Amino acid sequence: MLVKSYLCKKVDMNSSVLLIEQKDGIFFLTINRPDALNALNKEVFDALEQFFKDKKNDFSVKGVIVSGAGNKAFVAGADIKEFIHLDSVEGAALSKRGQDIFFMIENFHAPVVAAVNGFALGGGCELSMACHLIIAGEHARFGQPEVNLGLVPGYGGSQRLVQNIGKTRALKLLLTGDMITATQALEWGLVNEVVPSGEEKVSAEVLLQKIVTKGPLAIQKTISLVNDFFNKAVDGFKSEYEDFGYTLGSDDAKEGAAAFIEKRKPSFKGK
Ligand code: CAA
């Protein structure tokens, strides 16, 4: 059953291209360029980077939901009109910057959910994949159409698509530039849930409301452990036994075990 979204508070760092609202520690980011189908330009990158930098060590943030303004697009890609004038060196720098911002999202301490309310193409598909979970509206469409422009993906798409749906399916999408439906994306494991159009954000919130009842340290470490699997420089099994020990020694784990034994709900403090 869906819960109704109550009124959110606007946050100070709002910019016109990235609307930021907050409710009970859950931040709602809306990329707000509906006339350009929310394409990612420099201003959007600046605002996203600022938000994730500012909140990097802010453990009062319990979760983040990212969506696009309007009901047609989540994000239709990098802003083609902006990058078309760049040379190779500038292009590589743009791509590196996009990757770095998306790494900040992927490594964020609290879960980030993409509420995909329409086209998620190119940089938009890449943004959704940098998030930890994806809720897609029935009308959502996913794809990496860069080859149509004579380009390769620039914000991690050639890597995360393979991680998320496997080489065979990823190559088909990357080489044809085809879009897939939300249902196909669910079947292929690209998204977590498909919901009726218009319910993406509220469904993302329902999912986060469940996660915020869990031990915050455990959530934080779980995100980091799963990311370790893809980090060739790190032994994820070693990280796991270290983090198991770390969480076991935490007040949260003591509270979790006590609550289990006393048959009550735990009250975690994130310590
Ligand atoms: N960049 C800049 N503007 C964009 C845009 C983009 N990625 N996508 C859409 N727009 C703009 C259009 O130019 C148009 O603006 P005007 O009204 O000023 O002409 C407006 O948004 C509406 O778009 P359409 O008229 O094209 O809408 P449509 O319903 O006919 O088609 C669409 C929708 C299929 C999504 C189509 O807009 C489209 O193909 N967009 C481009 C998708 C794309 O190629 N994305 C990848 C970009 S490259 C990339 O992202 C590289 C990377 O990995 C870093």
- Taking the C-alpha atoms of residue 253 and residue 268, their distance in angstroms, rounded to an integer, is 9
Mapped onto helix, strand or coil, the DSSP state of residue 137 is: strand
- Rg (alpha carbons) of the chain, rounded to whole number: 19
Q: What are 197-221's pLDDT values in tens digits?
A: 999 999 999 999 999 999 999 999 9
Tokens standing for 257? 């075990």
Tell me which amino acid residue 164 is: N
CB 145 within 8 A of CB 76: no
Supply the residue whose CA is at minimum distance from atom 47 of ligand 1.
77
Average pLDDT over residues 131-145: 98
Mapped onto helix, strand or coil, the DSSP state of residue 70 is: coil
Q: What are 44-84's pLDDT values in tens digits?
A: 999 999 999 999 999 999 999 999 999 999 999 999 999 99
Q: Which residues fall within 8 angstroms of residue 143, CB to CB, at 6 or more apart?
A: 120, 121, 122, 125, 173, 177, 178, 179, 180
Question: Can you give the pLDDT at residue 9?
Answer: 73
pTM: 0.96
Surface-to-core class of residue 196, CB atoms within 10 Å of its CB (0-12 exposed, 13-18 middle, 19+ buried) = exposed
Question: Can you give the pLDDT at residue 10?
Answer: 76
175: nearest Cα among 193, 162, 163 = 162
Decide if 146 is catalytic: yes
Distance (Å) of CA 6 to CA 21, 22, 85: 11, 11, 43
Distance (Å) of CA 238 to CA 156, 243, 248: 26, 9, 15
Decide if 126 is catalytic: yes
- Taking the CA of residue 94 as reference, the ligand 1 atom at the shortest distance is 54
How far is ligand 1, taken at its centre, from the CA of residue 69, in Å? 15
Residue 107 CA to chain centroid, in angstroms? Answer: 10
Supply the residue whose CA is at minimum distance from atom 10 of ligand 1.
36
Other CB atoms closer than 10 Å to residue 179's CB: what's the count? Answer: 18
The residues facing 97 across adjacent strands are none
Question: Can you give the pLDDT at residue 230?
Answer: 94
Strand pairing category for 63-68 and 119-121: unpaired
Catalytic, out of 43, 49, 126, 200:
126
Best residue among 32, 35, 37 to mutate for probing ligand 1, ranked by most atoms within 8 Å of CB:
37
DSSP state of 175: H
Q: What are 153-192's pLDDT values in tens digits?
A: 999 999 999 999 999 999 999 999 999 999 999 999 999 9
Residues with CB under 6 A from ligand 1: 36-37, 39, 76-81, 98, 119, 121-123, 126, 145-146, 149, 151, 153-155, 157
Helices (H), the chain: 42-54, 80-83, 88-106, 123-130, 157-165, 167-176, 182-187, 200-211, 216-229, 236-248, 251-261
